[in-house]
Amino acid sequence: MNNGHTIEIKMLTPLWTGGVDRKCDRLHETGIIGSMRWWYEAIVRGLGGYACDPTSNDRCELSGKEKTDEERRKKLCPACWLFGCGGWKRRFRLDVFSATKEPFSLSSLSYKNQRGQDEFNRWWLKQVFNKNINDNLPIGDVELNIYLTKGSEGDVLGQIKALISAMEQIGVLGAKGQYGFGQFEWAEKQNIQDALRTINDFVKVGGFLTKENDVDWYSLENYWLYELSLPASNPLIKKFENAKLIGSAKKPLIYLPVSFDIRYRLPDNYGLGLRQAYRQNHSKEQTRKVFGTLLGEKQGSRIFVSHLFKRKKEDRNYSLRVWGFTEVTAGDFLGKELERMFALKEIRMKYTGAVLTRDI
Ligand SMILES: [Zn+2]
């Protein structure tokens, strides 16, 4: 097809696509498009635009009677215009290819108790990921091929590039970001301010539906991010390097899949995990609101923790990203906890949504 554009990225932690076709290198793109839409919504809201909740009854829809793009945009939020909704097709098609895959793996410092049963983290991870134990997940070079729908080429490619640029710097690609997956690098990204400006310019003058966003929806307005650089000599990193794998028997090369231990809880003697520490100082309700609930997955987590990953194989330090969509006080609290966990002096947020959007 002659309207194709390729974005070459590098996955630093595995890409979770929600299903891998084992026979060929083409990946299911649904999980990737889902994550793109999710981040686009959060960004649009943070910039003061409206993005509907596509799972609610109040989501955008077209009747089919609209004759011009102008008429359509009046009934659609920018996310629905770009990603499609009832009566309206997504403005692009995505094919994703990956040459390198590696067996699924997670690891945890938790171990078997005296009765030979798995301790909580290990037990829980096995419950959730049991069906994925034999999966191979894309890592390293991944190609995103984008084919634009006729008639809307100009705006669409600009939005996608700005979106992928932003996701690289403040989020993840694909599903299960809260479990450490989807960290990536894009050499040709725009800096975060430029990317947000591109999205803002489009959203503000696009003539889209305007409504109030629900205060509980994910929005860049409530976003914050820590990005830590942790030497392999760090005492807790040393322990994580020896943590027992769940899934693959082979140790991954460029990352330590320990997101869950950091985000949820550490075994006794290792200090506290983020959720555990938060729970000690907050009510059950507050904790569930921030970390989500594991029961029935009724409430999504607002705290996300990457695996420990290296940007290059030869790097001595691991990177760790922890981000959230909460009030900044919860972010401050968790920053203190990260300092304690890794015995660091003082860490600062790399980005907050408030600062990122201030001058745009
Ligand atoms: Zn919408």
Distance from the Cα of residue 284 to its chain's centroid: 25
| pLDDT at residue 69 greater than cutoff 60 | yes
Q: How far is the CA of 144 from the centre of ligand 1 (A)?
A: 24
Tell me the mean pLDDT in the region 185-190: 98
Beta bridge partners of 328: none
Delimit the domains of the chain by residue range: 4-100+139-205, 220-358
Buried-state track 186-202, b at ≥16 Cβ within 10 A, e below 16 = beebbebeebbbbbbbb
At residue 131, the pLDDT reads 87
DSSP-assigned states of every residue in 347-360: ---SEEHHHHHHT-
**Residue 248 pLDDT grade (very low, low, confident, very high; cuts 50, 70, 90):** confident
Residue 117 or 48, more confident? 48
Q: Which amino acid is at 33?
A: I
pLDDT tens string 116-152: 788 888 998 998 898 888 888 999 999 999 999 987 7
Tell me the mean pLDDT in the region 32-45: 97
| pLDDT at residue 18 greater than cutoff 80 | no
Q: How far is the CA of 145 from the centre of ligand 1 (A)?
A: 25
**Residue 269 pLDDT grade (very low, low, confident, very high; cuts 50, 70, 90):** confident
Residues with CB under 5 A from ligand 1 (ion): 52, 60, 77, 80
At residue 298, the pLDDT reads 61
Share the mean pLDDT of the chain. Answer: 92
Tell me the mean pLDDT in the region 303-315: 96
Q: How far is the CA of 49 from the centre of ligand 1 (A)?
A: 11
Contact 172, 227 (CB under 8 A): no
| pLDDT at residue 254 greater than cutoff 60 | yes
At residue 297, the pLDDT reads 52
Q: How far is the CA of 194 from the centre of ligand 1 (A)?
A: 24
pTM of the model: 0.95
At residue 44, the pLDDT reads 98
Q: How far is the CA of 184 from the centre of ligand 1 (A)?
A: 27
Tell me the mean pLDDT in the region 300-325: 96
Q: How far is the CA of 353 from the centre of ligand 1 (A)?
A: 22
Q: How far is the CA of 60 from the centre of ligand 1 (A)?
A: 4
Domain 4-100+139-205 listed as CATH 3.30.70: yes
Q: How far is the CA of 65 from the centre of ligand 1 (A)?
A: 18
